[in-house]
Amino acid sequence: MSDIHRGHCFCKAISWQVVGSPIRSVYCHCTLCQRLHASPFIHTIHYPADHFKWTHAEPHADHFEKYPVLDKPWKSRIRCRHCGVMVGSESTKTNNYSVYGAVLERDEEGQIKSWEQLKPTAHMFYGTRYLDVNDGLPKWEGYEEQSRLFSAQG
Ligand SMILES: [Zn+2]
Ligand SMILES: [Zn+2]
């Protein structure tokens, strides 16, 4: 199993790689992610900034836009300037990058590569979920380890 994991936007104008196991891999059901991604929930994977790098043509910043989140100005969402797909976010407060599982590289069968290393281990912000997920993973009302835990089965 390779320790380098790659992802790209829909049009492949932007791509990145992360190295090793993530700090955290979770499904996020917060209302910010729901709105910014127009999606019921997202799969977010956190890495320290020095484990992340852009791999598309330089200058990297020519191909993406950063959207600072209004009430969290230290956090920016990063999306492709060409196809508009959100590929990750950065936090200048924690010096972490979050990359989104849905844009990870797939194998010939369409399955995400290195799934065992990258798969989510919990749900966060389950309090504002669209739908119940019965996958047996821990479900936090807000942030992981910092909020009320719902039953693991529901
Ligand atoms: Zn693109
Ligand atoms: Zn979220």
33 Ramachandran zone, left/alpha/beta (phi>0; psi -120 to 50): alpha
pLDDT tens readout for residues 8-52: 999 999 999 999 999 999 999 999 999 999 999 999 999 999 999
The confidence band for 69, taking pLDDT boundaries of 50, 70 and 90, is confident
Centroid of ligand 1 to alpha carbon of 85 (angstroms) = 6
Task: Give the Cβ contact number of residue 153 at 10 Å.
Answer: 9
154 alpha carbon – ligand 1 mean position (Å): 36
Is 71 in a helix, a strand, or coil?
Answer: coil
Tally of CB atoms within 10 A around 120: 19
At the topology level, CATH places domain 4-150 in 2.170.150
The closest alpha carbon to 119, from 27, 41, 54, belongs to 27
What residues pack around ion ligand 2 (CB closer than 5 A)?
28, 30, 33
Burial class (CB in 10 A: 0-12, 13-18, 19+), 81: middle
Give the mean pLDDT of 46-61.
Answer: 96
Q: Taking a C-beta distance cutoff of 8 angstroms, is the pair 117, 105 a contact?
A: no
For residue range 87-140, list pLDDT tens digits in order: 999 999 999 999 999 999 999 999 999 999 999 999 999 999 999 999 999 999
46 forms beta bridges with 24, 98
> For residue 80, is pLDDT > 60?
yes
Using the mean position of ligand 2's atoms as its centre, give its distance from the Cα of residue 54 in Å.
22
Flag the least confident range among 79-83, 123-127, 139-143, 147-151: 147-151
Could you give the CA distance from residue 103 to residue 8 in angstroms, rounded to a whole number? Answer: 6
Q: Name, in order, each residue with C-beta under 8 angstroms of 25's C-beta and a sequence gap of 6 or more.
A: 43, 44, 45, 46, 101, 118, 119, 120, 121
